Amino acid sequence: MPPLLADLPPYLTLRRGALANAAAHLDLHRRVLVVTDAGVPPAYAQALAEAAAQSSPAAPPPIPLTLPSGEATKCPALLAAVHRALLKRDFTRRDCVIAVGGGVIGDLAGFAAATYMRGIDFYNVPTTLLAQLDSSIGGKTAIDFEGVKNVIGAFHPPRHVLIDPDVLDTLPPRQLRAGLAEAIKMAATSDPALFALLERSTDLRADLPEIIRRALLVKATVVAADPYEANLRRVLNFGHTLGHAIEAAARGDLLHGECVAIGMLPFAGPALRPRLAALLRKYGLPTTSPLPPDVLRPFLLHDKKATASAITAVFADEVGAFRFQSLPPDEILALLPP
């Protein structure tokens, strides 16, 4: 693991109230499509639309597009809806798409921007904690297809990511906790200082900007070293090997972050496990799988990281130290506590 970046890269703005000042960070002097979903408070997309209208009164007014919320939105039909909106309003390669929402809208709008006219500018304004500290950076965009998650996609990094922690005030607490699981994941493998901050925090709202900042430093460091997930970037999959299987087997009953929380503990060494379990419990995250190994087995074998005989998983032996190890699927399942 290279040393963590000292500062956020220039394509990231993280500030309370940043939404009200969007025009200072994004080039809005052009056609702008603002994509959001019906579960995101409309005021956030409106703030972007107003910033675009004010910064460029002569340009055509920004186009709002509100899609249904939920994972099912990452589908070919709604990808086509975004493309259709762009085409109908004569968007060219000089114009841009802004995502205002969680990882679902970021992935879908980002992929639409990646593919329209072979790629137009994309801005991400993430409004869930998961999106603010994880999915909005790194350039991965995708939709789901034929029941397989993220199988059609592209690397298309956003030109800028505008992160306003104030929008998290409206996020349901369960979603907030699920996002924290990804921060805990990055802390456990790569940042003892973030782990300690999460352990000692007594005022989560006050500490969120620093938690987001440190998690972004981990992700930005890893992504800069391995933009196309050839190697190091797989560290971000800590907790995901069993987590993905649990998420698929639970069929929507558990959030992604909750499954990652459950999926981390079996891969934590004895020095880390009690601290990690205490941290997960502190933030109201589950620590045991509601489903037994035999139910999870077929889902684990469908995991894209599976090969015929072995699955490569991320292990963390102590805070800030990780390793990759390949194990047969049954040995992975045997790591789950009885």
Ligand X SMILES: NC(=O)c1ccc[n+]([C@@H]2O[C@H](COP(=O)([O-])OP(=O)(O)OC[C@H]3O[C@@H](n4cnc5c(N)ncnc54)[C@H](O)[C@@H]3O)[C@@H](O)[C@H]2O)c1
Binding-site member from 79, 125, 133, 167 for ligand X (CB under 6 A): 167
Query: What is the separation of C-alpha 241 from the centre of its chain, rounded to a whole number of angstroms?
Result: 16
Q: Does 98 bind ligand X (CB under 6 A)?
A: no
**Tokens, residue 282:** 């502190």
Task: Please report how close the Cβ of residue 127 comes to ligand X at its closest, in angstroms.
Answer: 4
The number of helices, as runs of H, and strands, as runs of E, in the chain is 12, 10
Residue 107 sits in the site that holds ligand X (CB under 6 A): yes
Nearer to ligand X, 211 or 333 (CB): 211
Locate 295 and state its tokens: 């139910």
Contact between 140 and ligand X per CB under 6 A:
yes
Known catalytic residue at 88: no
| 140 tagged catalytic | yes
What does DSSP say about strands 12-14 and 311-318: parallel, antiparallel, or unpaired?
unpaired
Indicate the Cα dihedral angle 295, 299, 301, 305, nearest 10°: -140
Catalytic residue among 140, 177, 185, 214: 140
Contact pick of 79, 171, 184, 311 for ligand X (by CB under 6 A): 171
Per CB under 6 A, the segment of 2-10, 100-108, 157-165, 294-302 that binds ligand X is 100-108
Residue 66's DSSP bridge partners are: 36
Q: Write the Ramachandran bin of 208: left for phi over 0, alpha for psi from -120 to 50, otherwise beta.
A: alpha
Instruction: Give DSSP secondary structure letters for 189-244.
Output: HH-HHHHHHHHH-S-HHHHHHHHHHHHHHHHHHHHHH-TT-SSGGGGGGTTHHHHH
Looking at 134, 164, 247, 303, which residue binds ligand X (CB under 6 A)?
134
Active site residue 118: yes
Burial call 271-309: b when 16+ CB within 10 Å, e when fewer: ebbebbbebbeebebbbebebebeebbebbeebeebeee
- Give the contact letters, 45-84, x = binds to ligand X (CB under 6 A), - = no: ------------------------xxx--x----------
**Residue number of the CB atom closest to ligand X:** 103
- Catalytic amino acids? 118, 140, 182, 219, 229, 233, 237, 240, 244, 256
Residues making contact with ligand X (CB under 6 A)? 37, 39-41, 69-71, 74, 101-105, 107, 127-128, 130-131, 134-135, 138, 140, 149-150, 167, 170-171, 175, 256
